[in-house]
Amino acid sequence: MRHGKAAFTLAIAAGTALGVPALAGTAQAAPTCNPGETCYVMYWDEYDDSRVVSNPDTYYCYPMPYGAVKGYNHTGRTVWLYKYSRVCGGAPDAKLSPGYSWYDPSTRYYSFDFS
Protein backbone atom coordinates (compact mmCIF):
# COMPACT_ATOMS: atom_id res chain seq x y z
CA MET A 1 0.00 0.00 0.00
CA ARG A 2 2.67 2.48 0.97
CA HIS A 3 4.59 2.01 -2.27
CA GLY A 4 1.43 2.54 -4.40
CA LYS A 5 0.57 5.79 -2.64
CA ALA A 6 4.09 7.12 -3.15
CA ALA A 7 3.98 6.26 -6.87
CA PHE A 8 0.57 7.98 -7.24
CA THR A 9 1.85 11.13 -5.46
CA LEU A 10 4.95 11.14 -7.67
CA ALA A 11 2.82 10.83 -10.83
CA ILE A 12 0.64 13.77 -9.76
CA ALA A 13 3.70 15.89 -8.93
CA ALA A 14 5.38 15.03 -12.24
CA GLY A 15 2.20 15.73 -14.23
CA THR A 16 1.68 19.09 -12.54
CA ALA A 17 5.32 20.03 -13.05
CA LEU A 18 5.04 19.18 -16.76
CA GLY A 19 1.85 21.23 -17.10
CA VAL A 20 -0.52 18.40 -18.01
CA PRO A 21 -3.93 20.14 -18.34
CA ALA A 22 -6.02 17.24 -16.99
CA LEU A 23 -3.97 17.10 -13.83
CA ALA A 24 -3.58 20.84 -13.49
CA GLY A 25 -7.35 21.47 -13.81
CA THR A 26 -7.18 24.03 -16.61
CA ALA A 27 -10.20 22.92 -18.68
CA GLN A 28 -12.10 25.85 -20.17
CA ALA A 29 -15.38 26.29 -21.96
CA ALA A 30 -15.32 26.78 -25.72
CA PRO A 31 -17.86 28.91 -27.60
CA THR A 32 -20.70 27.01 -29.25
CA CYS A 33 -21.23 29.63 -31.97
CA ASN A 34 -19.44 32.49 -33.62
CA PRO A 35 -20.13 35.93 -32.14
CA GLY A 36 -23.30 37.48 -33.49
CA GLU A 37 -24.89 34.18 -34.58
CA THR A 38 -28.19 32.89 -33.23
CA CYS A 39 -27.16 29.90 -31.16
CA TYR A 40 -29.48 27.33 -29.58
CA VAL A 41 -30.50 23.71 -29.16
CA MET A 42 -34.21 23.02 -29.39
CA TYR A 43 -35.87 19.75 -28.43
CA TRP A 44 -39.34 18.27 -28.06
CA ASP A 45 -40.74 15.62 -25.72
CA GLU A 46 -43.22 12.91 -26.76
CA TYR A 47 -46.16 15.29 -26.16
CA ASP A 48 -44.66 17.79 -28.63
CA ASP A 49 -43.78 20.30 -25.90
CA SER A 50 -40.67 22.18 -26.96
CA ARG A 51 -37.81 23.70 -25.02
CA VAL A 52 -34.95 25.93 -26.18
CA VAL A 53 -31.49 26.22 -24.67
CA SER A 54 -30.14 29.56 -25.91
CA ASN A 55 -26.41 30.23 -26.08
CA PRO A 56 -25.45 26.93 -24.45
CA ASP A 57 -22.07 26.53 -22.76
CA THR A 58 -19.86 23.69 -23.99
CA TYR A 59 -18.62 22.96 -20.46
CA TYR A 60 -22.05 22.02 -19.10
CA CYS A 61 -24.46 19.09 -19.26
CA TYR A 62 -28.08 19.92 -20.12
CA PRO A 63 -30.74 17.59 -18.72
CA MET A 64 -33.92 16.97 -20.70
CA PRO A 65 -36.19 15.91 -17.81
CA TYR A 66 -39.08 14.45 -19.80
CA GLY A 67 -36.95 12.81 -22.44
CA ALA A 68 -36.53 14.29 -25.91
CA VAL A 69 -37.72 12.44 -29.02
CA LYS A 70 -36.69 15.08 -31.55
CA GLY A 71 -34.51 18.14 -31.67
CA TYR A 72 -32.37 20.56 -33.64
CA ASN A 73 -28.74 21.62 -33.22
CA HIS A 74 -28.40 25.25 -34.24
CA THR A 75 -24.89 25.66 -32.80
CA GLY A 76 -21.42 25.46 -34.28
CA ARG A 77 -20.52 22.37 -32.22
CA THR A 78 -21.37 18.67 -32.16
CA VAL A 79 -24.10 17.73 -29.66
CA TRP A 80 -23.85 14.36 -27.87
CA LEU A 81 -27.12 12.78 -26.70
CA TYR A 82 -27.51 10.40 -23.74
CA LYS A 83 -30.35 7.86 -23.45
CA TYR A 84 -29.69 6.50 -19.98
CA SER A 85 -28.24 9.46 -18.11
CA ARG A 86 -29.70 12.76 -16.98
CA VAL A 87 -26.19 13.99 -16.17
CA CYS A 88 -24.29 13.12 -19.38
CA GLY A 89 -22.73 10.10 -17.72
CA GLY A 90 -20.95 7.35 -19.59
CA ALA A 91 -20.54 7.18 -23.33
CA PRO A 92 -22.97 9.21 -25.48
CA ASP A 93 -25.61 7.28 -27.40
CA ALA A 94 -25.99 9.58 -30.42
CA LYS A 95 -24.20 12.38 -32.24
CA LEU A 96 -25.93 15.43 -33.70
CA SER A 97 -23.72 17.50 -36.00
CA PRO A 98 -24.12 21.28 -36.28
CA GLY A 99 -27.19 22.26 -38.30
CA TYR A 100 -28.79 18.80 -38.09
CA SER A 101 -31.96 17.54 -36.45
CA TRP A 102 -33.26 14.17 -35.29
CA TYR A 103 -36.64 12.56 -34.88
CA ASP A 104 -37.07 9.16 -33.24
CA PRO A 105 -40.33 8.72 -31.29
CA SER A 106 -39.22 5.28 -30.05
CA THR A 107 -36.09 6.62 -28.30
CA ARG A 108 -35.88 9.20 -25.52
CA TYR A 109 -32.71 11.10 -24.72
CA TYR A 110 -32.37 12.56 -21.24
CA SER A 111 -29.36 14.87 -21.49
CA PHE A 112 -26.90 16.44 -23.92
CA ASP A 113 -23.51 18.12 -23.99
CA PHE A 114 -20.96 19.26 -26.58
CA SER A 115 -17.60 18.38 -28.05
Strand spans (E) along 24-68: 40-44, 50-54, 62-68
Q: What's the pTM value of the predicted model, to 2 decimals?
A: 0.71
Do 112 and 64 form a contact (C-beta atoms < 8 A)? yes
pLDDT tens-place string over residues 73-105: 999 999 999 999 999 999 999 999 999 999 999
pLDDT tens-place string over residues 41-83: 999 999 999 999 999 988 899 999 999 999 999 999 999 999 9
pLDDT at 59: 86
Do 64 and 113 form a contact (C-beta atoms < 8 A)? no
Do 76 and 98 form a contact (C-beta atoms < 8 A)? yes
d(CA 42, CA 107): 17
Do 29 and 61 form a contact (C-beta atoms < 8 A)? no
What does DSSP assign to residue 5? H
